[in-house]
Homo-oligomer: A and B are copies of this chain.
Amino acid sequence: MKWVYGFGGGTAEGSGEQAELLGGKGAGLAEMSLLGIPVPPGFTVTTEACRHYLRGGGRFPDGLDDQLHEQMHGLEQQLGQGFGDPSRPLLVSVRSGAPVSMPGMMDTVLNLGLVRASLAADDEADARFRRDCFRRLQAMYGEVVLGIPPARFDAALREVLAGSAATSERDLGAEGLDAVVAAFDTVLAESGHELPDDPWAQLRAAIGAVFSSWNNRRAVEYRRLHDIDEKMGTGVTVQAMVFGNRGSDCATGVAFSRNPSTGERELYGEFLVDAQGEDVVAGTHTPQPIAGRAGSGGSGTDGVDGDGGLRSQFPEAYDELLRVCQTLERHFRNMQDLEFTIQHGKLYMLQTRAGKRSGPAAVRMAVEMVRERLIDRREAVRRVEPQHLTQMMAPVFDLAERQRALGEGRLLAVGLGAGPGAASGRIAFTAERASAMAGEGPVLLVRDETSPEDIVGMHAAAGILTTRGGMTSHAAVVARGMGKPCIVGADDLVVDEEAGVLRAGERSFREGESLSIDGTRGEILAGELATLPSEVLQSLDAPEGERQPLLVAAFYQLLRWADRERRLEVRANADTPEDARRAVAFGAQGIGLCRTEHMFFAHERIGWVRQMILADDDAQRRRALDELLPVQQSDFAGIFRALEGRPVTVRLLDPPLHEFLPHGDEALSALARQMGVSVGRVRDKAAALIEVNPMLGHRGCRLGITSPEIYEMQCTAIARAACLVQRAGTPVSCEIMIPLTGVVEEMARCRELVEAAVRRVCDEEGEELDSLLIGTMIEVPRAALIADQLARHADFFSFGTNDLTQMTFGFSRDDVGRFLPEYIEAGVIAGDPFARLDVDGVGQLVELASRRGRMARRDLKLGVCGEHGGDPHSIQFFERCRLDYVSCSPYRLPVARLAAARAAMAFHPGGRAEGLGDPLDPAG
13 contacts between A and B (CB under 8 A): A691-B818, A693-B696, A693-B815, A697-B818, A698-B815, A702-B823, A706-B819, A742-B810, A743-B828, A780-B808, A782-B809, A785-B845, A786-B841
Q: Known contacts A691-B812, A745-B828, A812-B691: does B819 contact A696 (CB below 8 Å)? A: no
A: residues with CB less than 8 A from B are 691-698, 702, 705-706, 740, 742-743, 745-746, 749, 779-782, 785-786, 803, 806-812, 814-815, 818-819, 822-823, 826-829, 838, 840-842, 844-845
How close is A317's CB to chain B, nearest CB, in angstroms?
A: 53
Provide the bound-state CA to CA distance between A814 and B693, in Å: 8
Q: Is the CB of A822 within 8 A of B691?
A: no
Point out the residues of chain B lying under 8 angstroms from A698, CB to CB.
Answer: 815, 818-819
Residue of B nearest to A805 (CB): B782
Q: Known contacts A742-B841, A746-B828: does B697 contact A694 (CB below 8 Å)? A: no
How close is A839's CB to chain B, nearest CB, in angstroms?
A: 11
Provide the bound-state CA to CA distance between A696 and B809, in Å: 8
Point out the residues of chain B lying under 8 angstroms from A841, CB to CB.
Answer: 742, 781-782, 785-786
Provide the bound-state CA to CA distance between A702 and B702, in Å: 30
A-B interface, 6 closest residue pairs, ranked by CB to CB distance from nearest: A696-B812, A693-B812, A692-B814, A782-B841, A780-B810, A698-B818
Q: Is the CB of A695 within 8 A of B693?
A: yes
Provide the bound-state CA to CA distance between A691 and B782, in Å: 25
Provide the bound-state CA to CA distance between A779 and B809, in Å: 10
Point out the residues of chain B lying under 8 angstroms from A782, CB to CB.
Answer: 808-810, 838, 841-842
Q: Is the CB of A696 within 8 A of B697?
A: no
Provide the bound-state CA to CA distance between A780 and B806, in Å: 10
Provide the bound-state CA to CA distance between A746 and B819, in Å: 12
Q: Is the CB of A819 within 8 A of B702?
A: yes
Provide the bound-state CA to CA distance between A742 and B823, in Å: 12
How close is A280's CB to chain B, nearest CB, in angstroms?
A: 40
* Selected contact of A785 from candidates B742, B806, B808, B812, CB within 8 Å: B808
Q: Is the CB of A811 within 8 A of B696?
A: yes
Residue of B nearest to A826 (CB): B705
Residue of B nearest to A473 (CB): B692
How close is A832's CB to chain B, nearest CB, in angstroms?
A: 13
Provide the bound-state CA to CA distance between A154 and B857, in Å: 55
How close is A101's CB to chain B, nearest CB, in angstroms?
A: 28
Q: Known contacts A745-B828, A818-B698, A822-B706: does B786 contact A840 (CB below 8 Å)? A: yes
Residue of B nearest to A743 (CB): B829
Provide the bound-state CA to CA distance between A818 and B842, in Å: 28
How many chain copies? 2
Q: Is the CB of A697 within 8 A of B812?
A: yes
Point out the residues of chain B lying under 8 angstroms from A809, CB to CB.
Answer: 742-743, 780, 782
Point out the residues of chain B lying under 8 angstroms from A749, CB to CB.
Answer: 828
Q: Is the CB of A812 within 8 A of B692?
A: yes
Point out the residues of chain B lying under 8 angstroms from A818, CB to CB.
Answer: 691, 697-698, 702, 706
Residue of A740, A818, A822, A838 most packed against chain B (CB within 10 A): A818
Provide the bound-state CA to CA distance between A705 and B838, in Å: 20
Q: Is the CB of B696 within 8 A of A815?
A: yes
Point out the residues of chain B lying under 8 angstroms from A845, CB to CB.
Answer: 781, 785
Provide the bound-state CA to CA distance between A509 and B697, in Å: 31
Q: Is the CB of B696 within 8 A of A829?
A: no
Q: Known contacts A702-B819, A786-B841: does B810 contact A696 (CB below 8 Å)? A: yes
Q: Is the CB of A695 within 8 A of B694?
A: no
Residue of B nearest to A684 (CB): B494
* Selected contact of A694 from candidates B693, B781, B822, B823, CB within 8 Å: B693
Known: A745-B827, A781-B781, A785-B840. 17 other contacts (CB 8 A): A691-B812, A691-B814, A691-B815, A692-B815, A693-B812, A693-B814, A696-B696, A696-B807, A706-B818, A742-B841, A779-B810, A780-B808, A782-B808, A782-B809, A785-B841, A785-B845, A807-B810
Q: Is the CB of A740 within 8 A of B815?
A: no
Point out the residues of chain B lying under 8 angstroms from A803, CB to CB.
Answer: 810
How close is A173's CB to chain B, nearest CB, in angstroms?
A: 54
How close is A357's CB to chain B, nearest CB, in angstroms?
A: 35
How close is A481's CB to chain B, nearest CB, in angstroms?
A: 20
Residue of B nearest to A803 (CB): B810
Point out the residues of chain B lying under 8 angstroms from A697, CB to CB.
Answer: 812, 815, 818
Provide the bound-state CA to CA distance between A826 and B745, in Å: 10
Residue of B nearest to A745 (CB): B828
Point out the residues of chain B lying under 8 angstroms from A786, CB to CB.
Answer: 840-841
Provide the bound-state CA to CA distance between A718 and B745, in Å: 47
Provide the bound-state CA to CA distance between A845 and B698, in Å: 24
How close is A765's CB to chain B, nearest CB, in angstroms?
A: 31
* Selected contact of A740 from candidates B694, B810, B823, CB within 8 Å: B810
How close is A17's CB to chain B, nearest CB, in angstroms?
A: 37
Point out the residues of chain B lying under 8 angstroms from A746, CB to CB.
Answer: 828
Residue of B nearest to A469 (CB): B692
How close is A703's CB to chain B, nearest CB, in angstroms?
A: 8
Point out the residues of chain B lying under 8 angstroms from A745, CB to CB.
Answer: 827-829
Provide the bound-state CA to CA distance between A266 and B781, in Å: 55
Provide the bound-state CA to CA distance between A566 and B626, in Å: 61
How close is A350's CB to chain B, nearest CB, in angstroms?
A: 41
Point out the residues of chain B lying under 8 angstroms from A812, CB to CB.
Answer: 691-693, 695-697
* Selected contact of A692 from candidates B694, B781, B840, CB within 8 Å: B694
Point out the residues of chain B lying under 8 angstroms from A827, CB to CB.
Answer: 745
Residue of B nearest to A844 (CB): B785
Provide the bound-state CA to CA distance between A225 and B463, in Å: 56
Provide the bound-state CA to CA distance between A695 and B702, in Å: 19
Provide the bound-state CA to CA distance between A283 and B840, in Å: 64
How close is A88's CB to chain B, nearest CB, in angstroms?
A: 56
Provide the bound-state CA to CA distance between A829 and B745, in Å: 7
* Selected contact of A822 from candidates B693, B705, B740, CB within 8 Å: B705
Point out the residues of chain B lying under 8 angstroms from A702, CB to CB.
Answer: 818-819, 823
Provide the bound-state CA to CA distance between A818 and B698, in Å: 7
Q: Known contacts A693-B812, A812-B692: does B844 contact A705 (CB below 8 Å)? A: no
Point out the residues of chain B lying under 8 angstroms from A781, CB to CB.
Answer: 781, 807-808, 810, 841, 845
Residue of B nearest to A691 (CB): B815
Point out the residues of chain B lying under 8 angstroms from A828, CB to CB.
Answer: 705, 743, 745-746, 749
Point out the residues of chain B lying under 8 angstroms from A693, CB to CB.
Answer: 693-696, 812, 814-815
Residue of A779, A808, A826 most packed against chain B (CB within 10 A): A808
Provide the bound-state CA to CA distance between A779 and B740, in Å: 20
How close is A778's CB to chain B, nearest CB, in angstroms?
A: 11
Provide the bound-state CA to CA distance between A740 and B803, in Å: 18
Q: Is the CB of B696 within 8 A of A806?
A: yes
Residue of B nearest to A827 (CB): B745
Point out the residues of chain B lying under 8 angstroms from A696, CB to CB.
Answer: 693, 695-696, 806-807, 810-812, 815
Point out the residues of chain B lying under 8 angstroms from A742, CB to CB.
Answer: 808-810, 841
Provide the bound-state CA to CA distance between A823 and B692, in Å: 20
Provide the bound-state CA to CA distance between A401 and B828, in Å: 61
How close is A570's CB to chain B, nearest CB, in angstroms?
A: 28
